[in-house]
């Protein structure tokens, strides 16, 4: 129960930050998504995002900063394993399932359904 | 209402008018929007935790379970975008439906569907990356730079 509550709170708070950025600055949703992935990556590089994941679970991994965290932590993992070439392999390896799912399911949905109106 | 004669009176009138105007002007729904974002975003993440716990229960590690969890959420988001439900939710939820990975999936499906009429290559195939493309570009560049710094220091 505790893990679900923490996921709700951490995930909700990250979304509030996104909403405030959209309401109080001229940033569009696309800008917020890009900004969040980059911020998540930087926080991950500084070692600050992993503690958030341990605290919030899916509340930290499901929002877009979690995607940035996966990209960076995957890169660092591969550098530790393979050295220099890990800089090029880690990010996409760690996010391969999500990206492939997004492209394939996105394609299938777009082929199957007609837009409204 | 004060009389508006002469420049001093005029100024006073302006002040009075501004005060009246501020009273009736609708407040921007910032608090309401933030609350919607919190609740819907929080619920999507809680649902993500349910799926994550299912995969952890199958014996996967946290790292191994993250991918399949994203894939399930993305599948559902693609389906509900196709059915027109997700964008309806987004009218209220704002960032609550945009910031989670389901919003990323929505940003792929919605333009792909919309631009299908322009063909399967330049329409569906190209337009599906209108938002996802920049996200992946800046995400990968960030990971590359941080990786390079990490490599140089180790």
Q: Distance between CA atoms of B110 and A106, rounded to whole angstroms?
A: 9
> What is the pTM for the complete model shown?
0.88
- The per-residue pLDDT for B28 is 61
Interface of A with B in 66-95 (CB under 8 A): 66-68, 70-72, 74-76, 79, 83-84, 86-88, 90-92, 95
pLDDT digits over A55-91, tens only? 999 999 999 999 999 999 999 999 999 999 999 999 9
Contact state of A115 with B30 under an 8 Å Cβ cutoff = no
Give the tens place of pLDDT for each residue, A14-57: 999 999 999 999 999 999 999 999 999 999 999 999 999 999 99
pLDDT at B83 over 70: yes
Alpha-carbon distance values, B50 to A1, B45, B105, B144, B150 (Å):
10, 9, 19, 32, 34
pLDDT at residue number B153: 94
Q: What CA–CA distance (Å, rounded) separates B45 from B2? A: 56
ipTM of the complex: 0.96
pLDDT given for residue B18 in this prediction: 80
User: Does residue B116 register a pLDDT over 90?
Assistant: yes
Closest-CA distance of chain A to residue B18, Å: 22
User: How do the domains of chain B map onto residue ranges?
Assistant: 6-114
CB neighbour class for B106 (10 Å; exposed up to 12, middle 13-18, buried from 19): buried
Can you give the three-state secondary structure of chain B, one letter per residue? CCCCCHHHHHHHHHHHHHHHHHHHCCCCCHHHHHHHHHHHHHHHHHHHHHHHHHHHHCCCCHHHHHHHHHHHHHHHHHHHHHCCHHHHHHHHHCHHHHCEHHHHHHHHHHHHHHCHHHCHHHHHHHHCCCCHHHHHHHHHHHHHHHHHHHHHHC
pLDDT, residue A12, reads 98
User: Taking the CB of residue B59, how many other CB atoms lie within 10 A of it?
Assistant: 8
Q: Please say whether the beta carbons of A74 and A91 come within 8 A.
A: yes
Provide the 3-class DSSP secondary structure of residue A26. Answer: coil
Give the span between the Cα atoms of B144 and A60, in whole angstroms: 22
Residues of chain B contacting A83 with CB distance shorter than 8 Å: 151
Residue range A89-99: mean pLDDT, rounded? 97
């Amino acid at each position: 129960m505790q893990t679900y509550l923490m996921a709700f709170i951490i995930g909700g708070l990250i979304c509030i930050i996104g909403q405030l950025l959209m309401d109080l600055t001229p940033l569009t949703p696309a800008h917020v998504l890009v900004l969040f992935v980059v911020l998540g990556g930087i926080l991950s590089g500084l070692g600050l995002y992993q503690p958030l994941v341990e605290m919030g679970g899916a509340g930290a991994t499901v929002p877009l900063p979690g995607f940035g965290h996966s990209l960076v932590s995957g890169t660092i993992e591969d550098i530790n394993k393979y050295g220099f070439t890990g800089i090029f392999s880690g990010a996409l390896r760690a996010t391969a399932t999500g990206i492939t799912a997004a492209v394939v399911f996105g394609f299938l949905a777009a082929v199957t359904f007609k837009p409204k109106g | 209402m004060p009389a508006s004669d002469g420049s001093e009176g005029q100024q006073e009138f302006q002040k009075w008018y501004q005060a009246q105007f501020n009273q009736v002007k609708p407040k921007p729904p910032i608090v309401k929007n933030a609350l919607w974002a919190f609740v819907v975003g929080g619920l999507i993440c809680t649902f993500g935790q349910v799926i994550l716990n299912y995969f952890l229960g199958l014996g996967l590690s946290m790292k191994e379970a993250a991918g399949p969890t994203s894939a399930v959420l993305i599948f559902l988001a693609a389906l509900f975008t196709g059915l027109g439900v997700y964008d309806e939710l987004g009218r209220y939820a704002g960032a609550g439906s945009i910031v989670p990975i389901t919003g990323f999936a929505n940003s792929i499906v919605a333009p792909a569907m919309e631009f299908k009429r322009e063909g399967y290559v330049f329409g569906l195939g190209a337009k599906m990356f209108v938002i996802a493309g920049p996200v992946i570009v800046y995400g990968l560049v960030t990971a590359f730079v941080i990786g390079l710094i990490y490599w140089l220091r180790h």
